Amino acid sequence: MSTVPVQTPGGSYPIHIDAGRLKRLAESIPEDATAIALISNPTVSAYYGELASQALAKTGKRLISIELPDGEAHKDWQTLNLIFDALLQNRLDRKAVLVALGGGVIGDMCGFAAACYMRGVRFVQVPTTLLAQVDSSVGGKTGINHPLGKNMVGAFYQPISVEIDTNVLATLPAREISAGLAEVIKYGLIIDAEFFAWCEQNVEKLRALDPQAITYAIQRSCELKAYVVSQDERESGLRAILNFGHTFGHAIESGLGYGQWLHGEAVGCGMVLAAELSALTHGLSADSVERVRALVAAIGCPVLPPDLGAERWIELMQVDKKTEGGQLRFVTLPEIGQARFEAAPLVAVHRVLENVSIAQT
Ligand code: NAD
Ligand code: GLY
């Protein structure tokens, strides 16, 4: 087993990474917990609900299970309320611990529920998608979508531990693996050029879930994310670089309707657009733009965005937490492994979007 420490003002905790970690979930529950609420969805529950329940039962504590509908389209107030309903109906108190067993949707909603229930209860992240293992379970961003914008309602709230079982990836559809790999290569692009090159060399192993390669990719991603969030938990500066490709990506997700493209697919394609923007604004070389495009394609994510129409793109991108005073701000790369975060000239953004229209015709 490997352990990656995360240290933030809002809480310090370990990320445990191991094949078979699910069986040892009881170790993540504090002695003084009065009850455990295991929160999942029918898809994940069918595979791992029993295993997780049996492992948690070893604590001897009262255990309730809450099942939420599956999918990004359900990451909303209505579904969040189902958690509060169950916690209150079962009279869980302030010392209860919530356990999020699922992908980023379950993790983000469970974390937000933990932040709000009785003004804050402890929670454990048990991420079961690659994307959640390398990104969403770490760093304490929690929340839900609003019809007008992605992840627009939420809180920074850290878990007490992150428990990663690499075995659970075996049941994940290939499309979800590709989406998770988009976030993996993002770390290389923004902060670790050597890791990006390693991903290029190992892409087939990663897609095939070669145990050694995928475990290294998860561990390195967690280390890099832990480093960034420990410098800037609440995204007042450095943390913004984790959003490379996300401004374009979120516009794709909300423009097409949540759930049409997977979050990681939209981010993958968004990174290609952000690389093109970087070429215009920061002189990223044509060769580097092509490396980004080639690796996004090689992991199995789309590189050609939908043609939403330039005005609609801008409108959608303005509903972004990075926008300030109505001005669009982007994460860009002067070179692979280095990121900048600043306002982008609208004319450059339009040039990138014009190329999208041309590529579609
Ligand atoms: P997801 O949670 O919808 O999971 C994808 C699908 O895989 C779902 O149908 C799920 O039920 C299924 N699934 C999960 N684990 C499985 C397994 N082991 N075997 C088989 N099927 C399994 O999607 P996701 O990609 O994990 O997460 C995307 C969400 O994460 C988005 O809402 C995004 O905004 C959020 N996110 C948050 C952060 C953050 O920092 N909090 C970072 C990145 C993304
Ligand atoms: N996924 C972006 C962040 O955690 O900040």
Q: Which of 121, 152, 171 is the last residue of a domain?
A: 171
Give residue 321's pLDDT: 76
The verdict on the CB of residue 267 being under 6 Å from ligand 1 is: no
Respond yes or no: is residue 324 known to be catalytic.
no
User: Is 239 one of the catalytic residues?
Assistant: yes
Mutate to test the pocket of ligand 1, among 79, 130, 131, 243 (most ligand atoms within 8 A of CB): 131
Angle between helices 263-282 and 346-360 (to 10 degrees): 120
| pLDDT attached to residue 359 | 63
**What is the average pLDDT across 72-96?**
97
* 280: its two tokens: 């215009």
Give the pLDDT confidence score for residue 307 in this predicted structure.
Answer: 87
Tell me what pLDDT residue 147 has: 84
Which residue has better confidence, 357 or 109?
A: 109
Which pTM does this prediction carry? 0.96
Q: What is the model's pLDDT at position 346?
A: 84
Answer yes or no: do 278 and 339 share one domain: yes
d(CA 304, CA 31): 51
* Mean local confidence (pLDDT), 154-177: 98
More confident residue, 148 or 170: 170
Judge if 235 and 183 occupy the same domain: yes
Backbone angles phi, psi at 332, to 5 degrees: -130, 165
CA distance 86 to 121: 15
Domain boundary among 119, 154, 171: 171
User: What pLDDT is attached to residue 357?
Assistant: 62
- 122 has catalytic annotation: no
- Mutation choice for ligand 2 from 131, 185, 225, CB with most ligand atoms inside 8 A: 225
Cβ neighbors of 331 (< 8 A, separation 6 or more) are 190, 240, 241, 243, 244, 245, 246, 247, 274, 339, 340, 341
What is the Cα–Cα distance from 40 to 42, expressed in whole angstroms? 7
235 is catalytic: yes
CATH, residue 116: 3.40.50.1970
141 lines ligand 1 (CB under 6 A): yes
Residues 119 and 255 in one domain: no
Taking the C-alpha atoms of residue 277 and residue 139, their distance in angstroms, rounded to an integer, is 27
**151 or 65: whose pLDDT is higher?**
65
pLDDT on residue 179 = 98
pLDDT for residue 36 = 98
- Is there a single domain that holds both residue 11 and residue 141? yes
Q: 134, 141, 157, 271: which to mutate for ligand 2, most atoms within 8 A of CB? A: 141
Mean pLDDT of 190-194: 98
Question: Is 183 among the catalytic positions?
Answer: yes
Q: Is the CB of 154 under 6 A from ligand 1?
A: no
Same domain, 121 and 209: no
Ligand 2 geometric centre to CA of 135 (Å) = 7
pLDDT at 289 over 60: yes
Residues 180 and 294 reside in one and the same domain: yes
User: Average pLDDT of 246-255?
Assistant: 92
My answer on whether 149 and 190 are in the same domain is no
Asked whether residue 205 falls in the same domain as residue 148, the answer is no
The pLDDT of residue 76: 96
Burial (CB count within 10 angstroms: exposed 0-12, middle 13-18, buried 19+), residue 300: middle
Contacts of residue 81, Cβ cutoff 8 Å, sequence gap at least 6: none
The mean per-residue pLDDT over the stretch 325-337 comes to: 90
Please determine, for residue 140, whether its predicted confidence score (pLDDT) is greater than 90.
Answer: yes
Q: What is the pLDDT of residue 282?
A: 93
Active site residue 263: yes
CATH number of the domain bearing residue 216: 1.20.1090.10
Number of domains in the chain: 2
- Is there a single domain that holds both residue 145 and residue 182? no
Last residue of a domain, one of 171, 197, 219: 171
Ligand 2 pocket, Cβ-based, cut-off 6 angstroms: 135, 139, 141, 239, 242-243
User: Averaged over 116-126, what is the pLDDT?
Assistant: 98
The pLDDT tens digits for 21-32 are 999 999 999 999
> First CA to last CA across the chain, in angstroms?
50
Mean pLDDT of the chain: 95
pLDDT tens-digit map of 337-360: 999 988 788 889 999 988 776 666
The pLDDT, as a whole number, for residue 124 is 98
Q: Which residue's CA is the nearest one to ligand 2's atom 2? A: 242
Give distance in angstroms: CA of 241 to centre of ligand 2: 8
Question: Do 142 and 219 have their domain in common?
Answer: no
Atom of ligand 2 nearest to the CA of 138: 4
Among 126-140, 203-217, 316-330, the least confident range: 316-330
Same domain, 219 and 238: yes
Q: Is the pLDDT of residue 320 over 90?
A: no
pLDDT at residue 123 tops 80: yes
Establish whether residue 56 lines the binding site of ligand 1, counting it when its CB lies within 6 angstroms of any ligand atom.
no
Provide the pLDDT for residue 358.
63
**133 and 221 assigned to the same domain:** no
Tens of pLDDT along 39-53? 999 999 999 999 999
156 neighbors 11 (Cβ within 8 angstroms): no
Domain range for 18: 2-171
Q: Which of 225, 291, 322, 329 is catalytic?
A: 225
CA distance 146 to 356: 27
Q: Does residue 328 contact residue 344 with C-beta atoms inside 8 Å?
A: yes
